[in-house]
Chain A
Amino acid sequence: MSPVAVKSLAGRLSNAFLAAGAVPVEAEALQPAEVLLDLYGEDIRGRAYVTDDPVDGEQMLRPDFTVPVVQMHMADGAEPARYTYNGPVWRKQEPGAGRAKEYLQVGFELFDRHDPAASDAEVFALFHEILKPYGLRMATGDVGLLAAAIDGLTTTARRKERLRRQIWRPDRFHHLLDMYSGKAENLPTRIALLDQVEAKGAKAVLKAAGPLLGVRSEAEIMARVASLQKDATTRPIPENEVEALEELLALHGPAADALQTLRGVEDRLNGFAPAVDRLEARLNAMAAQGVNVETLPFEASFGLTSLEYYDGFVFGFFDGETPISSGGRYDALTAVLGQGRSIPAVGGVIRPDALAAVGGVA
């Protein structure tokens, strides 16, 4: 497909979002790197192009529009608001993978405090309608369910925090869960450290290690040793809760059936029911928008891969394994960028280059 044809398809997608009531917005190609680094960590340097300005410091070629659109809205947006954008983003790709480093994204973002279920449904139904002629594979999920399930575990705040940090890294997450539920032993080096601390006291162990260099202070080390000690004596997470969590992670099927399964799980995890209520409200709102939730695929672990800012509903459209469109809810991101203020937000993007390559559509 020629670049001109891709651009024309992007224009048609953009018009569809405008027709849905969105205001067109632009964002600068160069974004301050600091904000993105704060959000994503050092990883983002491996994924985005970084350059330097003598006055403004490190800059990044925007890897997506979400961050600048949220910033713009937080600065002077009226509510509720619907925005659309159409422009290139830049991402470093795996060496040799042959994927485009620059490609267009056409997106739609909805900021509304009123009714999150209705907002989720509005955004999904809009993408669903626009992409219907292409016969794509759909996927939906809900990061909020897993977060609520972790909150509901019978364990310490520290362990919950560690698990939440690793939601996006399934291997690490399962390793932690095994340790916290007593299925895996504590690290041998940690057991050795705690034995020493037990025998001699933390201060003596620290002193024997030699001079302490650097910014990290003795108080910080003592604090972490104390929290490791406390953690080692924490009771394992009950078996039935771990099972419920594993069942949740493995959940995969039509959305309406998934809801029934979750109703069966909810009593085993404290405070989990409201998250299931939110899923039910969303499915009802989707059905009202004409989405068939009896067949809509739902996968509880969908979206737990790369983009760490989604914290609720997530969705994707695929041609085989090729992602064509993705989106979701990112309330927490607005809280981070809003410095104290926040606004519930949900949105998504379509890649016109990938969509144009989908076979069988003129």
Chain B
Amino acid sequence: MSVLKLAVPSKGRLQEKTMAWFAEHGINVSRAGSDREYSGVVTGVEGVELVMLSAGEIPKELKAGRIHLGVTGTDLIHEKLPLWQSVVVNLQELGFGQADLIIAVPKGWVDVDCVEDLDGVAAQFRANHGYRLRIATKYHNLVRGFLRSKGVADYQLVDSQGATEGVVKNLTAEAIADITSSGATLEANHLKTLDDGLILQSQACVFASRTADWSDASRAALRDMATKTGWDITGI
């Protein structure tokens, strides 16, 4: 019977690298049956059940305590769980899935290099157009918190859940806040990052839920995993 639920991303490179990382540490995580089935098996440790979830769902499942461990990005944890320190413990930085949450503006804005410039443009834009400069993002809490700390208020956030780099060309926003790893997508869309617009450096991590039911048996399974991975589990 399974006593510890481990959630990993349900697809893509993030999943492959997660599985490879666990395999290196003597824990074999693999899909059950076909590639399309969202369940899997764990061997090498006793009592661990694998669930496959979208990386974006994992934070709230950790918070609800429906999973004990979950692999997802720090960006998603910080955005979706404002009190994340009291909800999860970061057990392991995995060293992949690195991405920076940044603010980017059109390259043609030669007069904008930093947040201070963005603030100046925001005032000018509002006076000229009668509405606030729009920043497209899916990271509403992180972006709002960052800009508040920088004293910028004359803007509005518009929601963009994907292909955010395209919104400026489509005239639905003037700037974006999104994650980027190589900067290639920004480049291809004629955008540039602000020098001091780095909001968060994110990477994939193993998070443990503080709210899950940590029975003696599930703790034993966690100890087993910790022996193989070297995790410090004293905080759980």
Interface residues of chain A, those whose CB is within 8 Å of chain B, are: 37, 40-43, 45-46, 95-96, 162, 165-166, 169, 171-172, 187, 189-190, 193, 205-206, 209-216, 218, 220-221, 223-225, 228
Interface residues of chain B, those whose CB is within 8 Å of chain A, are: 82-83, 86, 106-111, 113-114, 116-117, 120-121, 123-125, 128-129, 132, 144-145, 147-148, 151, 153-157, 168-169, 171, 173-174, 189-190, 195
Using Cβ atoms and an 8 Å threshold, which residues of chain B touch A212? 106, 108
Closest chain A residue, CB of each to CB of B135: A42
Using Cβ atoms and an 8 Å threshold, which residues of chain B touch A37? 132, 156
CA distance A62 to B110 in the complex (A): 40
CA distance A45 to B140 in the complex (A): 10
Partner of A214, one of B106, B117, B132, B155: B106
Contact assessment for B153 and A209 in the assembled complex, using a CB-CB cutoff below 8 Å: no
Partner of A187, one of B113, B147, B151: B113
Partner of B190, one of A43, A95, A166, A210: A210
Dominant secondary structure of chain A at its interface with chain B: helix
Using Cβ atoms and an 8 Å threshold, which residues of chain A touch B156? 37, 42
Known contacts A190-B113, A224-B111; 18 additional CB pairs below 8 A are: A37-B132, A42-B132, A42-B144, A42-B155, A42-B156, A46-B148, A171-B151, A189-B113, A189-B195, A206-B108, A210-B190, A211-B190, A212-B108, A213-B190, A216-B106, A220-B125, A220-B128, A224-B120
Closest 10 CB pairs of A and B: A212-B108, A41-B153, A189-B113, A169-B151, A95-B82, A172-B151, A214-B168, A95-B83, A213-B106, A43-B153
CA distance A228 to B168 in the complex (A): 24
Knowing A187-B116, A213-B169, A215-B171 are in contact, say whether A43-B109 is a contact too (CB < 8 A): no
Knowing A42-B147, A46-B145, A46-B148 are in contact, say whether A213-B168 is a contact too (CB < 8 A): yes
Shortest Cβ gap from B176 to chain A (Å): 10
CA distance A166 to B124 in the complex (A): 15
Using Cβ atoms and an 8 Å threshold, which residues of chain B touch A224? 111, 120-121, 124
Using Cβ atoms and an 8 Å threshold, which residues of chain B touch A41? 132, 153-155
CA distance A42 to B154 in the complex (A): 7
Contact assessment for A209 and B155 in the assembled complex, using a CB-CB cutoff below 8 Å: no
Closest chain B residue, CB of each to CB of A96: B83
Most buried by A among B108, B144, B148, B171: B108
Using Cβ atoms and an 8 Å threshold, which residues of chain A touch B189? 213
Closest chain B residue, CB of each to CB of A173: B151
Using Cβ atoms and an 8 Å threshold, which residues of chain A touch B117? 187, 189-190
What would be 17 A-B contacts, judged by CB atoms less than 8 Å apart? Answer: A40-B153, A42-B132, A45-B144, A46-B148, A162-B120, A169-B151, A171-B151, A190-B117, A193-B110, A193-B111, A205-B110, A211-B190, A212-B108, A213-B108, A215-B129, A221-B111, A225-B110
